Structure 1
């Protein structure tokens, strides 16, 4: 399997099972092992892995479409699985030895993360000693490694302290089962506890280097355009794709529900009411606009990889904030339909309430917080320097 069409086709075969497991994912507070096994069977989790290690090396548009498709069945599964995929892209920009550490032992090994710089380190010969309670690690129950963030002084050319990433094996951290959330319940976004663990230099990479083509793995795979790209747009691509998939599923749910819904007190057929189909039309337009915005960015990013071109400040500001605006539109479209769906939509057995909750969670990530993004893009538009307090 090497193409998006084949992956989407294979996804369609397993989506009914994944959708049927949505309640199970919420009760487990993690993606069910059965879902992960099915995704492994179709090589979904190897979407961004280099072909040299048996991966698919999908383009960004192909990957994002697959994530949106999966999110329509179970957003929690799509959220966790998409991050397990994007970390393979990040690892493909690390050193060759780091990649051998992970995939040399197990070519199907996956990686979760806690990239916010919560880690505390001490410099030692050959690397760092790492400690920390590393939170927000989606899909960690199904990963054999984790990428963890910390602040470290840079190289001679850029000595100011900035964000770095440490690659840590599963044996060196404990998973703290503290994911008790009202949405994305099945993402298993738990905390990784690390205490005084040695991380060798070859498993450390600078965030700046990963964004500027200076990481040790940049260009290691000359026939693959995705490894001539900055890491962050690929890392963050799944968030908005999941939001889009939820919103498109809400359209399908509302349309089907309206065909048979009858008002309890009057017997009126809701689907024939003017407000119902007006809401449906507006939400559909809004979701179409979000998709168009995202698809343009996905294709622009993919083309830049083909050209071995790294994004400039203007492109990064737009891509960073366009995703958050697309998510904002998707959430608004879901809300418009949910608020007119009646009391039955609030039952825990109803798919709509899960779509509503999970939709809002897609807008809660630091990367998709539109209040932050408006500041980032607004400062950029008027020529102000980036505010370091904004992600």
Structure 2
């Protein structure tokens, strides 16, 4: 096993945090159990309760909660590593539980009353969320009336609150894109997640009948994206000076990175003992496999260094008091899409490197490949579009005001 994929390796970060290191070690220790549970989780269409309890006990959901609520408020580079390490064990766990962890960061943008509401009890929340504005709302006295249907409610089976977005009629002829949070129990969960990959995320559709949402449970999306939300005055640390999408996309590449590492480890172990079905040659002795493994390991190492480098550079910039420019934000989005693309190419080649046995239902190789085939199509990682945005900035072209950076 190489240094690259060792489950005890520490990420290359300039800022170390004792609590963060302890959390990563605890998550590393869970990887074998996550792999053992992955098939059962897929068949059940949800993350096992044992996994949820273990993550809670490890303190993962406190990772980006302010310290004044008992949170860890970790340096940002730890957040992508959480996704990455979980991704070595189970892609669905990494994606869904990583998001439930990350969404605590979003609550730091809401008014202080909201922060007290969601964090004042146990010190963290588990809130699924949906970004697409497929609901509708209107301003009323004391708050908003909200209704709608939202898809891809990842982690809905395990949530306290649900974060949703809706185009909101403000009563003066204007409309605003606003973020809301509502108790999970107010939603109806529709059994729509009939898929062939990432099944354990349980990303069903949800509906919400017209309901009243108090004003403190809503925030303007534009304020969240541009680091000017009301709640940030109560969270002066650098963690909340990172642009929303930059924070999210670098972290969300973690499952792909972790899966690529897991497959490189698994496939190389298979190659050590596999014998060709017709030739009888041991793959361990084939020069072609030596060269393939070397190339894929080096490519993956370079990709991970790119990802970690941009993650740490972003953190060091905000710690120094810098606000990432629009050009820098476009670069981060494109780099993340590039990392995902390169990891998926590695995963695809590895999955086909050891024969059809990889596609038996009890073989984790096929599950990683299916899951990452699905994840690579996510809108967050739309390579051509994001490369176009970044390339335009390199050539001096101003991006549209509504560019998703």
TM bracket (short chain): over 0.9
Matches within 5 A, 1:135-146: 135-146=151-162
Alpha-carbon distance in structure 2 between the residues aligned to 1:21 and 1:111: 23
Which moves more between the two structures, 324-333 or 237-246? 237-246
1:138-187: CA deviation from partner (whole Å, max 9, x where unpaired) = 1111110011012247899xx97453211111122122221122111111
CA contact (8 A) 1:211 1:231 kept: yes
CA contact (8 A) 2:65 2:123 kept: no
CA contact (8 A) 1:18 1:35 kept: yes
Structure 1 residues 77 and 135, CA gap change in structure 2 (3 angstroms): same
Match of 2:11? none
Q: TM-score, normalised by structure 2?
A: 0.90
Spell out structure 1 runs of 4+ moving beyond 4 A.
Answer: 153-156, 159-162, 387-391
Q: Secondary structure at the match of 2:346?
A: helix
Kindly indicate whether residue 219 of structure 2 is the aligned counterpart of residue 176 of structure 1. no
Match of 1:260? 273
1:103-138: CA deviation from partner (whole Å, max 9, x where unpaired) = 224434211101111111122122221111111121
Number of equivalenced pairs: 388
1:302-334: CA deviation from partner (whole Å, max 9, x where unpaired) = 123323432111111001111011000000111
Kindly indicate whether residue 312 of structure 2 is the aligned counterpart of residue 299 of structure 1. yes
Unaligned segments of structure 1, at least 5 residues: none
Q: TM-score, normalised by structure 1?
A: 0.93
Match of 1:371? 384
Which moves more between the two structures, 255-264 or 190-199? 190-199
CA contact (8 A) 2:137 2:169 kept: no
Q: Secondary structure at the match of 2:152?
A: strand
Structure 1 residues 354 and 20, CA gap change in structure 2 (3 angstroms): same
Aligned partner of 1:212 among 222, 226, 250: 226
CA contact (8 A) 1:90 1:235 kept: no
Alpha-carbon distance in structure 1 between the residues aligned to 2:18 and 2:159: 23
Q: Secondary structure at the match of 1:111?
A: coil
Aligned partner of 1:115 among 131, 145, 165: 131
Unaligned segments of structure 2, at least 5 residues: 1-16
Matches within 5 A, 1:88-237: 88-152=104-168, 161-222=175-236, 224-237=237-250
CA contact (8 A) 2:136 2:168 kept: no
Alpha-carbon distance in structure 1 between the residues aligned to 2:359 and 2:202: 23
Q: Secondary structure at the match of 2:46?
A: coil
Match of 1:65? 81
CA contact (8 A) 1:219 1:228 kept: no
Alpha-carbon distance in structure 1 between the residues aligned to 2:170 and 2:229: 12
Match of 2:101? 85
Alpha-carbon distance in structure 2 between the residues aligned to 1:155 and 1:54: 39
Matches within 5 A, 1:305-320: 305-320=318-333
Shift of 1:228: 2.6
Alpha-carbon distance in structure 2 between the residues aligned to 1:152 and 1:171: 22
CA contact (8 A) 1:219 1:227 kept: no
Shift of 1:36: 0.8
Structure 1 residues 101 and 168, CA gap change in structure 2 (3 angstroms): same
CA contact (8 A) 1:240 1:362 kept: no
Alpha-carbon distance in structure 1 between the residues aligned to 2:319 and 2:395: 31
Alpha-carbon distance in structure 1 between the residues aligned to 2:305 and 2:170: 39
Q: Secondary structure at the match of 2:247?
A: helix
CA contact (8 A) 2:138 2:171 kept: no
Q: Secondary structure at the match of 1:151?
A: strand
Shift of 1:390: 6.3
Shift of 1:336: 1.5
Alpha-carbon distance in structure 1 between the residues aligned to 2:354 and 2:266: 10
Shift of 1:66: 2.6
Alpha-carbon distance in structure 1 between the residues aligned to 2:62 and 2:132: 24
Alpha-carbon distance in structure 2 between the residues aligned to 1:241 and 1:145: 24
Structure 1 residues 185 and 124, CA gap change in structure 2 (3 angstroms): same
Aligned partner of 1:244 among 239, 257, 266: 257
Alpha-carbon distance in structure 2 between the residues aligned to 1:228 and 1:95: 16
CA contact (8 A) 1:153 1:161 kept: yes
Q: Secondary structure at the match of 1:113?
A: coil
